[in-house]
Structure formats: C-alpha cells, structure tokens
Amino acid sequence: MMQDIYDRRLITFVKKIYREVLLENGLHIENESYYKDFYYLLMDHTSMMLAWEIEKYFLGYTSEKRIKEIVDFKMGMIKDATNEWSVKQ
C-alpha cells in the first residue's frame, strides 16, 4: 500500500479515490470504518517500511542524508494519520 510513495498529495488522492472505486464495484463500507481501516493500514505499512528502510541504511544501501529524509517523511505520515483519525472519531 503505497509504501514507496513520498508524495502526500498522491496518498490523499488514493485515500479518496480507492473508496469511490470500492463503492462503484458494490463494496459498501461505512465512512468511519473505511477511514479507520485506511489509517490503521497506512500506519502499519508505513512503520514496517520504515524499519525496512532503516535496515537498508545499516546494510549500506542508503545514505545518511536519504535515510533522514525517509524517516522524516514516514514519521510525518504516521503523525498525520494519527491526527486525522483522532479528528474523525
């Protein structure tokens, strides 16, 4: 789920359009349930991929500059998802 995407606008777009695609194909999920699941999945995958990126850094595949950018972005996504879900409850 978008684990290597580093564009917040694209992630926001996918969040919106994916629900529309589900509805168009007959899968009705209540708004609250959809967003709850979306944010849980986003946080889970982002955390998992963050760990993978850190491992790649320790193995020498990623520069210190790049890992700092990745950590900043992914931690920001986790914080944003947490904040958005808190507001929706």
pLDDT per residue as tens digits for the range 4-32? 778 888 888 888 899 999 999 999 999 88
pLDDT, position 45: 87
Q: Which of 25, 43, 55 is nearest to 83 (CA)?
A: 43
| Structural contact between residues 71 and 50, judged by C-beta atoms closer than 8 angstroms | yes
Task: Say what the pLDDT of residue 6 is.
Answer: 81
Burial 2-34, CB ≥16 within 10 A → b, else e: beeeeeeeebeebbeeebeeeeeeeeeeeeeeb
Q: How confident is the model at residue 3 (pLDDT cuts 50, 70, 90)?
A: low
Q: pLDDT digit string (tens) for 49-65?
A: 999 999 999 999 999 99
In this model, does residue 70 exceed pLDDT 90? yes
DSSP three-state, residue 5: coil
